């Protein structure tokens, strides 16, 4: 199928694009930017007047809930959410049931996701069997099955000897290790940032040192093993500083932040709002501001949705008993635009944090509008208001702290490998 | 919006003392005063809640608090239904919301809720509002570490009874502030009523992070903290906290943080000693103090019933 996207404002920092440019697509790839290749005859035309045309979004953490949690979400529901949110590539954490710890599960997931209009799915394999933190998985086999990196999702390897061995083993094959910095003891049973709000509400706290103590261990082990460490869901100002220092020392460490943590802080728990129950916890305003600054200056490499669909029963519980997580695939773009507007970050740079930068971390050919690249493209109206309602959300998870709020930035069209995966109703 | 006030700014539910207007606190104390006399009559009843159904919803065991609410409701002539709902987080039974829906369908007028999770009464109040059943009033009888507002109010009643005015007092709260919903409610009540100096006294392991942001002065040394105070409010130390990573032993705790006649000498000579009960004699308080002339621990219990009657009658009238 040959498609031309005309009259749009193309934005792609990787190719220095920030101007009016038409995009031409054929056989699932971009074949021209700015001008059509010789003899190009479009079969379909997308009029992107007033819209931004950018690479399809690359999300470093989106839970599809398959296998095992189909009552919370299915591949079909979450792929619809991804397309509607302009997300064309996503990495899924291994915390499924069973966890992604054997090649058959990974192959099945990849196979099920290989459908026209579905985003490219990149599984993150479990670093240890059953995510139990005791025995290593067959990482090489899992990589052959399609795993791009290895991690523990929200769980922790308590035994540091196992952690050392896991990182050494991953480094043997050059596999990236994606880990969240989380001490298993400090903040045990905690449900909210250990600070004024948790103290007032009588919620068990998770202190910042629970992140920094664990991060210190991870950085030391990365230095020791030479493993490629990607720190997931950084949450505090102190952690951002530690990563900057490790980088300055020359260590190849990358990190990401979840989109909620750019906009919310512990005060947003309000009167025990279970939608603000997240992992890592929403921290102080000062921490939130440091994450915003870190993302702007590049200390934080990428912004992800940390999409976690939870059913209503999981959220209709007292704060400490509620399940953590928020649905976010469809909020990633509007919340990125909100950050860019508030922090005065140029659009091209802001979009790079959800396109080219995560693609680099994932090591995939995506996130740019270069000629010859896969035609994964997002066309959005940057000023259209979007009211976040349960009905609007395609995701089966309707749990978001932004429910009922009006954001800006509506995805009009999403192309995945040149296939029209989403077009907004006019 | 304060979820415990209705659109006229009146008390719809009693969930916490935090954010409660001073006038509402004072009017509860004023309403409670005549109720203390009801108990002295031959017929200990007034008809204010006749025909109303009060459900005691206790998701966490507490014979004492439940009994005081039961007595208060019965003295107001309400019908009282006691439900002890033991829930364990592992054994998944009916959800809290389902329980509430069922009881609402039984035409309840008031829920007295105790729950181990902070915020559970908020969830119930919000759910009642969302389902159009907010004619049912919710009274928080203790949620996790968060709040125990009727305890805080009865403590204020007691202080006012003995000290008349709040605005010249120095009050010390002593003990396990970290795990105490009582302490949180006391702090909010005292600061709202204009007590100029509220102190908390505890070892560092038993203090919440940034507790000073709640408007209190922190003391780790008990003698120093008690110097010149008008009111000493002791907190109960739960058994499970005594031996472990929070404290070394009950003996050492008693030596440094137990209220003895000797330490009490640091306070003003007319200082009163309060305790929410049940007491651990020889752990947080010496018997000589608990049974001494400065203790007002039993009057607290008596006032507690009057204050709970005041809360229930005020809610039923709004």
Shortest distance between the Cα of B181 and any Cα of chain A, in A, equals 7
- Chain B touched by A318 (CB under 8 Å): yes
B92 with B128, same domain: the answer is: yes
The pLDDT value given to residue B318: 83
Are B72 and B103 in contact, with CB atoms under 8 Å apart? no
Domains of chain A, CATH where assigned: 56-362 (3.20.20.140)
Segment A194-222 shows an average pLDDT of: 98
Is B69 inside a domain boundary? yes
B293 with B168, same domain: the answer is: yes
- Asked whether the predicted pLDDT for residue B91 surpasses 70, the reply is no
User: B213 and A271 in contact by Cβ < 8 A?
Assistant: no
Q: How confident is the model at residue B60 (pLDDT cuts 50, 70, 90)?
A: confident
B143 with B162, same domain: the answer is: no
Catalytic residue among A59, A306, A357, A376: A306
B155 with B137, same domain: the answer is: no
- Asked whether the predicted pLDDT for residue B190 surpasses 60, the reply is yes
B184 with B292, same domain: the answer is: yes
- End-to-end Cα distance, chain B: 18
Write down the pTM of the prediction.
Answer: 0.95
Strand arrangement of the beta sheet that strand B272-274 belongs to: B217-219, B197-201, B170-174, B231-234, B272-274
User: B208 and A199 in contact by Cβ < 8 A?
Assistant: yes
- Asked whether the predicted pLDDT for residue B88 surpasses 80, the reply is no
Number of domains in chain B: 2
- Domain housing B206: 149-300
User: B120 and A202 in contact by Cβ < 8 A?
Assistant: no
Is B9 inside a domain boundary? no
The pLDDT value given to residue B92: 54
The pLDDT value given to residue B244: 78
* pLDDT tens, position by position, B163-177: 999 999 999 999 999
Is B12 inside a domain boundary? no
Is B6 inside a domain boundary? no
Shortest distance between the Cα of B184 and any Cα of chain A, in A, equals 7
B123 with B187, same domain: the answer is: no
Residue B147 backbone dihedrals phi, psi, to 5 degrees: -155, 150
Q: CA B250, CA B257: separation in Å to the nearest integer?
A: 10
Q: CA B182, CA B148: separation in Å to the nearest integer?
A: 5
Domain CATH for B95? 3.40.50.1370
Chain A contact set for B3 (CB, 8 A): 271
User: A189: phi > 0 → left, psi -120 to 50 → alpha, else beta; which?
Assistant: left
Mean pLDDT across chain A: 97
Is B2 inside a domain boundary? no
- Asked whether the predicted pLDDT for residue B87 surpasses 70, the reply is no
Are A280 and A232 in contact, with CB atoms under 8 Å apart? no
Closest of B62, B157, B47 to residue B113, by C-alpha: B62
Query: To which residue do tokens 């950085």 refer?
Result: A219
Q: How confident is the model at residue B89 (pLDDT cuts 50, 70, 90)?
A: very low
Which residues, other chains included, contact A288 with Cβ-Cβ below 8 Å and sequence gap of 6+?
A261, A262, A263, A264, A265, A282
Q: CA B187, CA B179: separation in Å to the nearest integer?
A: 14
Is B131 inside a domain boundary? yes
**Residue A97 appears among annotated catalytic residues:** no
- Chain B touched by A35 (CB under 8 Å): no
* pLDDT tens, position by position, A37-52: 999 999 999 999 999 9
* pLDDT tens, position by position, A106-127: 999 999 999 999 999 999 999 9
Is B5 inside a domain boundary? no
B43 with B143, same domain: the answer is: yes
Q: CA B226, CA A256: separation in Å to the nearest integer?
A: 49
Q: CA A276, CA A374: separation in Å to the nearest integer?
A: 37
Q: How confident is the model at residue B1 (pLDDT cuts 50, 70, 90)?
A: low
Q: How confident is the model at residue B90 (pLDDT cuts 50, 70, 90)?
A: very low
* pLDDT tens, position by position, A60-96: 999 999 999 998 999 999 999 999 999 999 999 999 9
B135 with B172, same domain: the answer is: no
* pLDDT tens, position by position, A298-349: 999 999 999 999 999 999 999 999 999 999 999 999 999 999 999 999 999 9
B85 with B131, same domain: the answer is: yes
B98 with B204, same domain: the answer is: no
Chain B contact set for A321 (CB, 8 A): 89, 117
B54 with B180, same domain: the answer is: no
Is B188 inside a domain boundary? yes
- Asked whether the predicted pLDDT for residue A169 surpasses 60, the reply is yes
B133 with B32, same domain: the answer is: yes
Segment A370-383 shows an average pLDDT of: 97
């Amino acid at each position: 199928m040959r498609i031309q996207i005309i009259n749009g404002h193309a934005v792609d920092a990787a190719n220095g694009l920030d101007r009016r440019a038409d995009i031409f697509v054929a056989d699932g790839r971009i074949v021209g930017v700015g001008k059509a290749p010789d003899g190009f005859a479009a079969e379909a035309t997308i009029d992107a007047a007033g819209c931004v045309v950018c690479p399809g979004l690359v999300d470093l953490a989106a839970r599809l809930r398959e296998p095992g949690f189909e009552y919370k979400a299915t591949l079909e529901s979450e792929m619809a959410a991804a397309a509607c949110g302009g997300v064309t590539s996503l990495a899924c954490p291994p915390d499924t049931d069973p966890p992604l710890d054997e090649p058959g599960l990974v192959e099945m997931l990849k196979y099920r996701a290989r459908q026209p209009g579905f985003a490219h799915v990149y599984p993150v394999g479990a670093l240890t069997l059953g995510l139990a933190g005791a025995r290593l998985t067959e990482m090489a086999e899992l990589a052959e099955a399609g795993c791009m990196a290895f991690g523990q999702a929200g769980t922790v390897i308590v035994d540091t000897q196992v952690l050392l061995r896991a990182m050494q083993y991953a480094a043997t094959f050059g596999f990236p290790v994606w880990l969240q910095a989380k001490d298993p003891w400090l903040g045990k049973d905690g449900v909210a940032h250990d600070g004024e709000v948790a103290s007032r509400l009588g919620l068990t706290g998770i202190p910042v040192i629970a992140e920094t103590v664990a991060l210190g261990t991870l950085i030391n082990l990365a230095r020791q093993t030479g493993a490629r460490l990607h720190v997931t869901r950084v949450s505090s100002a102190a952690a951002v500083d530690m990563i900057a220092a490790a980088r300055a020392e020359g260590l190849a460490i990358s990190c990401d932040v979840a989109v909620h943590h750019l906009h919310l802080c512990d005060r947003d728990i309000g009167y025990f709002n279970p939608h603000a129950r997240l992992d890592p916890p929403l921290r102080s305003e000062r921490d939130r501001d440091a994450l915003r600054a870190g993302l702007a200056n590049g200390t934080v490499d990428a912004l992800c949705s940390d999409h976690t669909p939870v059913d209503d029963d999981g959220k209709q519980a007292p704060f400490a008993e509620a399940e953590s997580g928020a649905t976010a695939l469809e909020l990633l773009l509007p919340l990125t635009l909100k950050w860019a507007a508030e922090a005065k970050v140029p659009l091209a740079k802001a979009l790079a944090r959800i396109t080219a930068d995560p693609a680099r971390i994932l090591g995939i050919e995506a996130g740019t509008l270069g000629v010859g690249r896969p035609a994964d493209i997002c066309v959005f109206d940057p000023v259209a208001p979007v009211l976040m309602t349960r009905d609007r959300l395609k995701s089966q998870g309707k749990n978001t702290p932004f429910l009922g709020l009006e954001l800006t930035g509506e995805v009009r069209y999403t192309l995945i490998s040149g296939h029209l995966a989403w077009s907004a109703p006019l | 919006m304060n979820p415990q006030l209705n659109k006229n700014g009146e008390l719809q539910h009693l969930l916490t003392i935090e954010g409660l207007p001073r006038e509402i606190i004072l009017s509860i104390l004023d309403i409670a005063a005549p109720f203390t006399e009801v108990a002295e009559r031959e017929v200990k009843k007034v008809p204010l809640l006749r025909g109303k159904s009060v459900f005691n919803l206790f998701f966490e065991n507490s014979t004492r608090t439940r009994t005081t609410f039961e007595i208060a409701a019965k003295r107001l002539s309400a019908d009282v239904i006691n439900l002890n709902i033991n829930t364990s987080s592992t054994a998944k039974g009916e959800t809290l919301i389902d329980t509430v829906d069922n009881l609402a369908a039984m035409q309840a007028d008031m829920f007295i809720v105790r729950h181990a999770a902070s915020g559970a009464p908020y969830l119930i109040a919000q759910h009642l509002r969302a389902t159009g059943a907010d004619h049912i009033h919710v009274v928080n009888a203790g949620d996790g570490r968060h709040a125990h507002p009727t305890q805080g109010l009865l403590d204020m009643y007691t202080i006012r009874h003995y000290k008349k005015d709040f605005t010249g007092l120095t009050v010390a709260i002593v003990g396990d502030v970290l795990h105490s919903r009582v302490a949180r409610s006391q702090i909010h009540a005292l600061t709202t009523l204009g007590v100029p100096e509220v102190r908390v006294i505890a070892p560092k392991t038993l203090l919440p992070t940034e507790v000073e942001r709640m408007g209190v002065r922190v003391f780790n040394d008990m003698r120093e903290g008690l110097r010149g105070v008008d009111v000493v409010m002791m907190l109960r130390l739960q058994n499970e906290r005594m031996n472990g990573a929070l404290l070394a032993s009950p003996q050492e705790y008693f030596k440094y943080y137990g209220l003895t006649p000797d330490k009490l000498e640091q306070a003003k000579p007319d200082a009163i000693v309060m305790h929410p009960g049940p007491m651990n004699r020889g752990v947080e308080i010496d018997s000589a103090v608990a049974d001494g002339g400065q203790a007002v621990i039993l009057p607290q219990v008596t006032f507690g019933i009057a204050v709970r009657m005041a809360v229930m009658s005020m809610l039923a009238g709004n």
